[in-house]
Chains A and B, each alone.
Chain A
Amino acid sequence: KAGVTQTPRYLIKTRGQQVTLSCSPISGHRSVSWYQQTPGQGLQFLFEYFSETQRNKGNFPGRFSGRQFSNSRSEMNVSTLELGDSALYLCASSQDRNYGYTFGSGTRLTVV
Protein backbone atom coordinates (compact mmCIF):
# COMPACT_ATOMS: atom_id res chain seq x y z
CA LYS A 1 0.00 0.00 0.00
CA ALA A 2 1.57 3.25 -1.13
CA GLY A 3 2.01 5.96 1.46
CA VAL A 4 1.46 9.69 1.23
CA THR A 5 3.55 11.16 -1.57
CA GLN A 6 4.71 14.76 -1.55
CA THR A 7 6.47 16.46 -4.43
CA PRO A 8 8.88 18.01 -4.84
CA ARG A 9 11.10 17.07 -1.90
CA TYR A 10 13.12 20.26 -2.04
CA LEU A 11 12.48 23.72 -3.45
CA ILE A 12 14.47 26.93 -3.52
CA LYS A 13 12.56 30.06 -4.42
CA THR A 14 13.21 33.79 -4.41
CA ARG A 15 11.26 36.28 -2.35
CA GLY A 16 8.16 37.46 -4.15
CA GLN A 17 7.75 34.33 -6.22
CA GLN A 18 4.98 31.84 -5.79
CA VAL A 19 5.19 28.09 -5.28
CA THR A 20 2.93 25.07 -5.59
CA LEU A 21 3.38 21.91 -3.57
CA SER A 22 1.65 18.63 -4.29
CA CYS A 23 0.34 15.83 -2.08
CA SER A 24 -1.07 12.47 -3.15
CA PRO A 25 -2.88 10.76 -0.27
CA ILE A 26 -3.19 7.08 0.44
CA SER A 27 -5.71 5.47 -1.88
CA GLY A 28 -9.19 5.74 -0.37
CA HIS A 29 -8.33 8.62 1.95
CA ARG A 30 -10.50 11.63 1.24
CA SER A 31 -9.08 13.99 3.84
CA VAL A 32 -5.84 15.83 3.20
CA SER A 33 -4.39 18.34 5.63
CA TRP A 34 -1.32 20.54 5.45
CA TYR A 35 1.12 21.61 8.15
CA GLN A 36 4.04 23.98 8.33
CA GLN A 37 7.02 23.09 10.50
CA THR A 38 9.63 25.64 11.53
CA PRO A 39 12.22 25.56 14.33
CA GLY A 40 10.61 28.52 16.05
CA GLN A 41 6.91 27.70 15.77
CA GLY A 42 6.93 23.94 15.56
CA LEU A 43 4.17 22.21 13.64
CA GLN A 44 1.23 24.41 12.74
CA PHE A 45 -1.97 23.50 10.95
CA LEU A 46 -2.57 25.25 7.64
CA PHE A 47 -5.79 23.77 6.27
CA GLU A 48 -7.69 20.58 5.57
CA TYR A 49 -9.57 19.46 2.50
CA PHE A 50 -12.24 16.80 2.35
CA SER A 51 -14.01 15.79 -0.83
CA GLU A 52 -12.68 18.86 -2.66
CA THR A 53 -13.93 21.28 0.01
CA GLN A 54 -11.87 23.17 2.57
CA ARG A 55 -13.19 21.93 5.91
CA ASN A 56 -10.78 23.56 8.35
CA LYS A 57 -8.40 26.46 8.19
CA GLY A 58 -5.56 27.56 10.44
CA ASN A 59 -4.32 31.06 11.21
CA PHE A 60 -2.23 31.77 8.17
CA PRO A 61 -2.45 34.74 5.80
CA GLY A 62 -4.38 34.54 2.56
CA ARG A 63 -1.13 34.04 0.65
CA PHE A 64 -1.46 30.40 1.65
CA SER A 65 -4.13 28.57 -0.27
CA GLY A 66 -4.93 25.08 -1.37
CA ARG A 67 -7.24 22.90 -3.32
CA GLN A 68 -8.20 19.30 -3.70
CA PHE A 69 -9.02 17.43 -6.85
CA SER A 70 -11.62 14.75 -7.46
CA ASN A 71 -8.99 12.02 -7.04
CA SER A 72 -8.20 13.47 -3.57
CA ARG A 73 -4.80 14.77 -4.59
CA SER A 74 -4.15 18.16 -3.08
CA GLU A 75 -2.03 21.15 -3.92
CA MET A 76 -0.91 23.97 -1.72
CA ASN A 77 0.07 27.35 -3.10
CA VAL A 78 2.01 30.14 -1.48
CA SER A 79 2.09 33.47 -3.27
CA THR A 80 4.45 36.40 -2.78
CA LEU A 81 6.95 34.32 -0.85
CA GLU A 82 8.65 35.77 2.21
CA LEU A 83 11.83 34.62 3.92
CA GLY A 84 9.74 33.48 6.87
CA ASP A 85 7.93 30.98 4.65
CA SER A 86 11.04 28.81 4.63
CA ALA A 87 9.91 25.62 6.32
CA LEU A 88 9.17 21.95 5.99
CA TYR A 89 5.64 21.55 4.64
CA LEU A 90 3.97 18.32 5.60
CA CYS A 91 0.85 16.75 4.23
CA ALA A 92 -1.26 14.19 6.07
CA SER A 93 -4.03 11.98 4.78
CA SER A 94 -6.77 10.28 6.71
CA GLN A 95 -9.56 7.86 5.96
CA ASP A 96 -11.40 8.98 9.06
CA ARG A 97 -9.97 10.58 12.15
CA ASN A 98 -10.84 7.45 14.13
CA TYR A 99 -7.94 5.84 12.30
CA GLY A 100 -5.44 8.63 12.76
CA TYR A 101 -3.26 10.35 10.22
CA THR A 102 -0.46 9.31 7.90
CA PHE A 103 2.12 11.89 6.95
CA GLY A 104 4.24 12.29 3.87
CA SER A 105 7.98 12.96 3.87
CA GLY A 106 7.45 16.66 3.36
CA THR A 107 8.63 19.38 1.02
CA ARG A 108 11.52 21.49 2.22
CA LEU A 109 11.00 25.05 0.97
CA THR A 110 13.81 27.55 1.17
CA VAL A 111 13.11 31.18 0.30
CA VAL A 112 16.16 33.29 -0.51
Chain B
Amino acid sequence: KQEVTQIPAALSVPEGENLVLNCSFTDSAIYNLQWFRQDPGKGLTSLLLIQSSQREQTSGRLNASLDKSSGRSTLYIAASQPGDSATYLCAFSPWAGGGNKLTFGTGTQLKVEL
Protein backbone atom coordinates (compact mmCIF):
# COMPACT_ATOMS: atom_id res chain seq x y z
CA LYS B 1 0.00 0.00 0.00
CA GLN B 2 1.35 3.39 -0.98
CA GLU B 3 2.17 5.68 1.93
CA VAL B 4 2.78 9.32 1.11
CA THR B 5 4.24 11.81 3.56
CA GLN B 6 4.77 15.51 3.12
CA ILE B 7 7.25 17.45 5.19
CA PRO B 8 6.95 19.98 6.65
CA ALA B 9 3.27 19.94 7.59
CA ALA B 10 3.29 23.72 7.83
CA LEU B 11 5.69 26.40 6.69
CA SER B 12 5.80 30.16 7.09
CA VAL B 13 8.24 32.22 5.04
CA PRO B 14 8.79 35.89 4.20
CA GLU B 15 7.89 37.10 0.74
CA GLY B 16 10.60 36.63 -1.86
CA GLU B 17 12.12 33.53 -0.34
CA ASN B 18 12.79 30.41 -2.40
CA LEU B 19 11.40 27.27 -0.81
CA VAL B 20 11.20 23.51 -1.22
CA LEU B 21 8.30 21.28 -0.30
CA ASN B 22 8.97 17.59 0.11
CA CYS B 23 6.90 14.52 -0.69
CA SER B 24 8.05 11.00 0.23
CA PHE B 25 6.49 7.78 -0.97
CA THR B 26 7.01 4.11 -0.17
CA ASP B 27 6.07 2.36 -3.42
CA SER B 28 8.12 3.33 -6.48
CA ALA B 29 5.69 1.61 -8.87
CA ILE B 30 4.01 4.85 -9.81
CA TYR B 31 2.51 5.86 -13.13
CA ASN B 32 2.76 9.58 -12.58
CA LEU B 33 2.82 12.25 -9.90
CA GLN B 34 0.77 15.41 -9.74
CA TRP B 35 1.19 18.44 -7.50
CA PHE B 36 -1.87 20.43 -6.49
CA ARG B 37 -2.62 23.50 -4.45
CA GLN B 38 -5.74 23.96 -2.38
CA ASP B 39 -7.04 27.23 -1.05
CA PRO B 40 -9.13 27.08 2.14
CA GLY B 41 -12.49 25.44 1.55
CA LYS B 42 -11.88 25.13 -2.17
CA GLY B 43 -11.12 22.40 -4.67
CA LEU B 44 -7.72 21.40 -5.98
CA THR B 45 -5.81 23.29 -8.64
CA SER B 46 -3.32 21.27 -10.66
CA LEU B 47 0.18 22.72 -10.71
CA LEU B 48 2.46 20.17 -12.36
CA LEU B 49 2.25 16.62 -13.68
CA ILE B 50 5.34 14.40 -13.89
CA GLN B 51 5.25 11.10 -15.74
CA SER B 52 7.11 8.12 -14.31
CA SER B 53 9.76 8.37 -17.03
CA GLN B 54 10.44 12.06 -16.37
CA ARG B 55 12.73 13.64 -13.80
CA GLU B 56 11.20 17.10 -13.55
CA GLN B 57 8.67 19.59 -14.84
CA THR B 58 8.65 23.37 -14.75
CA SER B 59 5.92 25.95 -14.94
CA GLY B 60 6.76 29.58 -14.28
CA ARG B 61 8.18 29.90 -10.76
CA LEU B 62 7.43 26.25 -9.99
CA ASN B 63 9.68 23.27 -10.54
CA ALA B 64 8.83 19.73 -9.50
CA SER B 65 11.25 16.82 -9.48
CA LEU B 66 10.78 13.09 -9.15
CA ASP B 67 13.33 10.56 -7.89
CA LYS B 68 11.78 7.11 -7.76
CA SER B 69 14.94 5.45 -6.47
CA SER B 70 14.87 7.51 -3.30
CA GLY B 71 11.09 7.70 -3.07
CA ARG B 72 11.01 11.48 -3.19
CA SER B 73 9.46 14.34 -5.06
CA THR B 74 10.11 18.00 -4.39
CA LEU B 75 8.25 21.14 -5.37
CA TYR B 76 10.46 24.19 -5.65
CA ILE B 77 8.82 27.62 -5.49
CA ALA B 78 10.99 30.55 -6.52
CA ALA B 79 10.53 34.08 -5.24
CA SER B 80 7.49 33.26 -3.13
CA GLN B 81 4.55 35.67 -3.02
CA PRO B 82 1.63 36.08 -0.58
CA GLY B 83 -0.64 34.66 -3.30
CA ASP B 84 1.26 31.37 -3.01
CA SER B 85 -0.23 30.86 0.45
CA ALA B 86 -2.21 27.63 0.27
CA THR B 87 -1.98 23.94 1.07
CA TYR B 88 0.17 21.97 -1.35
CA LEU B 89 -0.58 18.32 -2.02
CA CYS B 90 1.28 15.66 -3.95
CA ALA B 91 -0.65 12.72 -5.39
CA PHE B 92 0.38 9.47 -7.07
CA SER B 93 -1.29 7.38 -9.69
CA PRO B 94 -0.20 3.73 -9.39
CA TRP B 95 1.03 1.50 -12.21
CA ALA B 96 -1.25 -1.33 -11.22
CA GLY B 97 -4.95 -1.22 -11.89
CA GLY B 98 -4.94 0.99 -14.95
CA GLY B 99 -7.72 3.14 -13.66
CA ASN B 100 -7.72 6.56 -12.14
CA LYS B 101 -7.03 6.37 -8.44
CA LEU B 102 -4.87 8.93 -6.72
CA THR B 103 -3.14 8.48 -3.40
CA PHE B 104 -2.61 11.84 -1.74
CA GLY B 105 0.03 13.07 0.61
CA THR B 106 -0.75 14.70 3.91
CA GLY B 107 -0.18 18.21 2.57
CA THR B 108 2.03 21.18 3.43
CA GLN B 109 0.28 24.35 4.55
CA LEU B 110 2.30 27.30 3.26
CA LYS B 111 2.00 30.88 4.44
CA VAL B 112 3.97 33.60 2.69
CA GLU B 113 4.11 36.77 4.73
CA LEU B 114 4.63 40.34 3.59
Contact = CB atoms under 8 A, between A and B. Distances in A.
A90 interface: yes
A100 B32 contact: yes
Interface residues of B, number: 25
A31 B93 CA distance: 14
Contact size class for A?
A: 20 to 34
A31 B100 contact: yes
Contacts, number: 68
A37 to B, nearest CB: 9
Interface of A: 4, 6, 31, 33, 35, 42-45, 48, 50, 55-56, 58, 88, 90, 92, 94, 97-106, 108
Interface of B: 31-32, 34, 36, 41-46, 49, 51, 89, 91, 93, 97-104, 106-107
